[in-house]
Structure 1
Amino acid sequence: MKRFFPIVFTLLYMLAMLKPVLPVFDYVINQDYIAEYLCINKDKPEMHCDGKCYLMQMLEEQNNEKKQNLPAIDLKEYPIGFVTLINLPSETTTTTPQKNHNNYHNQYRFLTSEQHFHPPIFS
């Protein structure tokens, strides 16, 4: 049950995202029918419209529906002139000298030998 609601809401979101593309899917599926019966330019076969005029008309109607559903916002009703910026004093940071906590100890030792390495001699 915990996974049911996220899956349903994801599917609804995806469906809402596909809504603008639905006229194109409808055109692709019903292209023959649209070209035969709904095409505006049936009398002009040299244009090779094949129903694309109908598709453009459907997309334009969908855009007009979007514009009509949006509320008109009048900027005169929402003035921003009364807003004043608050001048906050900047915080001054004081730096205190930090002590050097260097925990490095020279613990490196090496063996010293008096012998020097000489490469072998080839004869």
Structure 2
Amino acid sequence: MHTGADVSRVRRVATAAMATIGASKIETTRMVTAASELARNTLEHGGGGEMRIAIVGRMSKRKVEMTFIDQGPGIPDIHRALTDGYSTGGGLGLGLSGAKRLCKEFEIKSAPGEGTIVKVASWTERP
């Protein structure tokens, strides 16, 4: 991801992946919103990066996993960065914490000078 157009592309890919697993409209909206926030963070705070997406599991329980990777400055205090209202870029400070709330799985790894990796997932279960 290197431009705003890439954020739009991430939204389209996430929407298509959620449709592939038969996710509800609500679950799709949640995942696409999280993907958009994480893509924007990768671009704005990480200086660009990549998003990897995979559909995993069996037909009865499939999930969409998205991993956002950047080589930016990293996050010195992840706990603080996940606090609502905390922002280093002048925004509302709801992007990272909001993405965490929107996804069924959320994992973040980051350290100063080492970039950031955020992995999120959502799934649907069918009888």
TM-score by length of 2: 0.28
- Tell me which of the two structures has the higher relative contact order, counting C-alpha pairs closer than 8 angstroms and 6 or more residues apart: 2
Whose Rg is larger?
Answer: 1
Larger helix proportion of the pair: 1
TM-score by length of 1: 0.29
Larger strand proportion of the pair: 2
